[in-house]
Every structure is written in structure tokens, then in C-alpha cells.
């Protein structure tokens, strides 16, 4: 099992908090456990299922217990893809985890609407400012329902040595160059792109990013409110996906390949030098390195470049697709203990040590300098310059629509859906939500 993820100092990047407006937000009915000195147990679900993340979070839990002897943290690592099914079921039960991995957006808004999260707005007021604008992505109707510890962007990780072997001197900047480089890599006997089609969301990354390039920022933002995908830009995103698929850039059996589990996953293929590129987020070096024999991946051969631009796109060609990781307290969590633990998780000391693992980009002010990996440093710089970061659409949309998006994108990758059918499937899901 790998360390899975998924999806700075005073963030300069503005994240579109595309959470659907909901009503009836509940502040929960949990007790104020933690402050009375009585024993309290916190059950914590996170998605770091291998080192260094798994060991680090256990250390953090142990440190917190040492500082708060009455609060015990039961750490439960859960494989990333299992969260989609496990969390909804757990939140409906009478024994949900007290805090769990949270990606914000429409999925979180669904949980708020159902009364399954604690409204921690007043609890975090004394220190929420240390996270800058990053915290906005974990709000619904201006109320805080989660705390982010990692915020980054999606782009292409690539193998410089394989690019050189294919006589590619620099990463592609345009869509035309990108398709051309795929041809050069294939001619050199190199698999151009690794993708974990089994998990669906890696397919959706392409459709999402091309929508960001094809559609204006206003169109993207409006779609998160009314799910109106009638603008031709949405279909055009699928047309570009078809161009990519027609180039046959992926590894054999990509539809059955997982994204992050085992050496045969897309991250494993990339980390072991068996593919030239992978479209993934800031977490990918930490994942792919953990899937190699020496835990070091391809080392200095690893590079990063942003998603190519479109000459005919209506969107801001400098914009990025991205998101982050955070944690929410469930409706039955002991409020005071849960909030105190959240505060510790994003404290400067913990964030600096987490950043030093080089598995993501921290959110607490003054901690980004602890990232030492050159590629991740370049992502921090890139994140600070983009005009906006579009939240992954399967997270930005409410859960049912986001899942329909992932399914529709996967169907196109499998050759069973046209660009028009992808848009229709998402629109139909929105009408029936």
C-alpha cells in the first residue's frame, strides 16, 4: 500500500471555493470533550498508508497525547480510494471517525447539508488566520467545516532522461507540442504517459484541465452553482480528450491500472522509469518514490511542467487545476479535543516537519521554506503566480454529480462515450440530484 493523497506562506493563489450553497447547516451536537481532564479518545482517519506519511502522522498523534495526556488519538490509515465509499457510510452510522480526510467543495457541502460535520467557525477564530486564504476552500456559506494542511496544483511529472532519449529538449508548452512529443516518445519505444484508469479520477483530471483551458473562469464558476454545461466549451474539452486518446499515449492495460497501489500502478510505472509522464498533483513524488526498491524513484531525472495551453481556448491559459487535503470533525466528535488536535496539525512546527518530507505543499504561513525538493519548490512558485486554481470538478460538484463526472470521463477513456455523451451524463446527474 502506498502513501496516498487526494486529490504556503500567506497564499498568493486564490482558490475557487466552489462549494454548493446549502441550508440548514448544523453546528453538531457533540460534547466539549477534552477540556475537563476526563479521558477522551479521538479516532482519526487519514490517507497516508505508507511511510513517510504514515510514520509521521503517528508521531504527531503521539506528541499530541504527550501534551494532552487525557486525549488519546487512535490513528487509522485508510487507502485513498476507499474514502469515497467508507466515509458516507461511516457518517451515517452512530460511530463515525471523530476526524477524517476532507477535500472540501461540493462533497463537504453535502456532508454539511446532512448535518454530519461540526461547524468549527467560532472555535478556530483565534488561529485560522495563520492559514491565509487556503482556509476558504473548507468553508460552506462562510462557515468553517474543515482545516487544510496541504494545497497544491496538478501538472505533468516527467522523466528528463526519457525525454532526452526521445530527442525532446524541453517540456511542451502548447497542446500541439504535447501531442507531437507523444509521437516522439512512441517512436523511441517509450510509453509516453502512465495513467491509473481503474480509479477514474485520473481520467477526469484531463477532462477537467481541458475544461479550464476551454471555458472562461466565469463559466467554470457558474457551473458549480447551476450545473449548466450548455456552453460549447464543455464539449470541446471532450473533443480535445479524443485527440489525446487517438494518439494512444498510455500504457497497455491502462483501464485496469490503479493510480497509487503497487509498483504496477501508474505512479509505480513513473517512479520506476517505465513511462515518461504522469498528470498528477503535488503529492506524486512522495507516492512514486515509495513504490521503488530504493524509495528514491528516478531522483534528479524527475521534472515538472504545467498543463499545456490551447491556442483556441476561451479560458485563462495560465490557470491551474488543483486542490488540497484537510480534516473535518464529524458530528459526534468531542468538540474541544478535535479542534485542539486540528490546531496542532497545522501548527508551524508540525507543518514545517511535514513539509520537510517533500510530499506536499503546506498551508501555514512561514512554513513553505521547509520544502527542499526543487520540483516542489517550483510548484510553490507556480502556485503563487497563477491567476486562479480551479478545484477538481469531481470535488467542487456535489457528490452525486462529481461521481457522474468521473464515470463519464472514464467511459470516454474506455471508448464507450463521446464528448457529447460525457456532458449529457454530468448534466443528467445534476438534474436528478
Task: Establish if 179 belongs to a structural domain.
Answer: yes
Rounded distance, CA 390 to CA 413, Å?
22
Q: How far apart are CA 349 and CA 162, in angstroms?
A: 38
Separation of alpha carbons 15 and 20, rounded Å: 15
**Residues 196, 92 share a domain:** no
Same-domain check for residues 217 and 359:
no
Domain-located, residue 15: no
Same-domain status, 285 and 365: no
How far CA 270 is from CA of 94, 159, 211, 249, 377, in Å, comes to: 42, 8, 25, 14, 20
Flag whether 32 is in a domain: no
Q: Does 20 reside within a domain?
A: no
Task: Find all residues with CB under 8 Å of 189, minimum gap 6, and list them.
Answer: none
Q: Is this model's pTM higher than 0.95 or not?
A: no
Q: Are residues 65 and 116 in the same domain?
A: yes
Residue 58 lies in a domain: yes
Residues 6+ apart with CB under 8 A from 67: 344
Same domain flag for 365 and 415: no
Cell, residue 161: 532522461
Contact 376, 369 (CB under 8 A): no
Residues 159 and 147 in one domain: no
Torsion angle (degrees, nearest 10) of CA 216, 222, 224, 229: -70
* CA–CA gap between residue 304 and residue 258 (Å, rounded): 22
- Report the pLDDT value the prediction gives residue 50, as an integer from 0 to 100: 83
Distance CA(339)–CA(328), nearest Å, equals: 9
Q: Report yes or no on 9 lying in a domain.
A: no
**Minimal CA–CA distance to 107: which of 15, 6, 14, 20?**
20
Contact yes or no for 257/198 (Cβ under 8 A): yes
Contact 124/339 with Cβ under 8 angstroms? yes
Residue range(s) defining the domain that contains residue 240: 155-320+395-431
35 occurs within a structural domain: no
Check the CA dihedral 8-398-392-285 and report its sign.
positive
Same domain, 254 and 359: no
230 and 339 co-located in one domain: no
Q: Looking at the structure, tell me whether residues 196 and 255 fall in a common domain.
A: yes
Q: Could you tell me the CATH number of the domain that includes residue 206?
A: 3.40.190.10
Residue at 7 is within a domain: no
What's the CA dihedral at 35, 146, 154, 305 to 10 degrees? -50
pLDDT given at position 277: 98
Closest by Cα among 393, 150, 414, 372 to 281: 150
Per residue of the chain (433 residues), give pLDDT as tens: 334 444 432 233 334 433 333 333 334 444 455 555 789 999 999 999 888 899 999 999 999 999 999 999 999 999 887 887 899 999 999 999 999 999 888 889 889 999 999 999 999 999 999 998 889 889 999 999 999 999 989 999 999 999 999 999 999 999 999 999 999 999 999 999 999 999 999 999 999 999 999 999 999 999 988 999 999 999 999 999 999 999 999 999 999 999 999 999 999 999 999 999 999 998 899 889 889 999 889 999 999 999 999 999 999 999 999 998 999 999 999 999 999 999 999 999 999 999 999 888 999 999 999 999 999 999 999 988 999 999 999 989 988 999 999 999 999 999 999 999 999 999 999 999 8
One DSSP character per residue, 333-357 reads S-HHHHHHHHHHHTSHHHHHHHHTT
Amino acid at each position: 500500500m502506498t502513501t496516498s493523497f487526494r486529490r504556503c506562506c500567506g497564499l498568493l493563489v486564490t482558490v475557487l471555493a466552489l462549494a454548493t450553497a446549502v441550508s440548514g447547516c448544523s453546528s453538531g451536537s457533540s460534547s466539549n470533550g477534552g477540556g475537563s481532564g476526563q479521558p477522551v479518545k479521538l479516532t482519526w482517519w487519514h490517507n497516508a498508508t505508507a511511510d513517510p506519511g504514515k510514520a509521521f502522522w503517528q508521531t504527531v498523534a503521539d506528541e499530541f497525547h504527550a501534551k494532552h495526556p487525557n486525549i488519546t488519538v487512535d490513528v487509522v490509515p485508510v487507502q485513498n480510494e476507499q474514502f469515497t465509499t467508507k466515509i458516507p457510510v461511516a457518517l451515517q452510522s452512530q460511530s463515525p471517525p471523530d476526524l477524517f480526510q476532507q477535500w472540501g467543495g461540493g462533497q463537504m457541502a453535502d456532508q454539511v447539508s446532512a448535518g454530519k460535520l461540526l461547524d468549527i467557525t467560532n472555535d478556530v477564530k483565534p488561529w485560522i488566520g495563520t492559514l491565509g486564504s487556503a482556509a476558504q476552500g473548507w468553508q460552506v456559506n462562510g462557515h468553517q467545516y474543515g482545516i487544510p494542511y496541504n494545497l497544491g496544483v496538478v501538472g505533468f511529472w516527467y522523466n528528463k532522461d526519457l525525454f532526452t532519449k526521445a530527442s525532446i529538449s524541453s517540456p511542451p508548452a502548447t497542446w500541439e507540442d504535447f501531442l507531437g512529443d507523444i509521437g516522439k516518445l512512441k517512436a523511441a519505444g517509450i510509453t509516453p504517459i502512465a495513467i491509473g484508469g481503474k480509479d477514474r479520477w485520473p481520467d477526469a483530471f484531463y477532462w477537467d484541465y481541458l475544461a479550464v483551458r476551454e471555458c472562461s473562469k466565469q463559466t467554470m464558476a457558474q457551473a458549480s452553482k447551476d450545473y449548466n454545461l450548455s456552453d460549447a466549451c464543455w464539449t470541446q474539452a471532450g473533443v480535445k480528450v479524443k485527440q489525446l486518446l487517438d494518439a494512444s499515449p498510455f500504457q497497455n492495460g491502462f483501464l485496469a491500472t490503479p493510480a497509487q497501489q503497487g509498483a504496477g500502478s501508474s505512479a509505480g510505472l513513473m517512479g520506476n522509469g517505465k513511462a515518461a509522464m504522469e498528470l498528477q498533483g503535488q503529492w506524486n513524488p512522495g507516492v512514486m518514490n515509495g513504490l521503488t526498491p530504493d524509495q528514491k524513484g528516478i531522483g534528479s531525472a524527475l521534472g515538472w511542467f504545467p498543463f499545456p495551453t490551447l491556442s483556441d481556448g476561451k479560458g485563462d491559459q495560465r490557470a491551474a487545476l488543483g486542490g488540497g487535503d484537510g480534516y473535518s470533525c464529524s458530528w459526534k466528535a468531542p468538540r474541544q479535543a478535535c479542534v485542539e488536535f486540528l490546531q496542532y496539525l497545522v501548527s508551524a512546527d508540525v507543518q514545517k516537519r511535514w513539509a520537510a518530507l517533500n510530499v506536499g505543499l503546506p498551508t501555514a504561513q512561514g512554513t513553505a521554506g521547509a520544502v527542499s525538493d526543487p520540483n516542489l519548490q517550483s510548484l510553490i512558485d507556480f502556485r503563487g503566480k497563477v491567476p486562479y486554481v480551479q478545484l477538481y470538478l469531481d470535488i467542487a460538484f456535489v457528490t452525486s454529480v462529481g461521481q457522474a463526472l468521473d464515470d463519464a470521463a472514464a467511459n470516454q477513456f474506455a471508448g464507450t462515450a463521446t464528448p457529447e455523451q460525457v456532458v449529457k451524463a454530468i448534466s443528467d446527474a445534476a438534474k436528478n440530484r
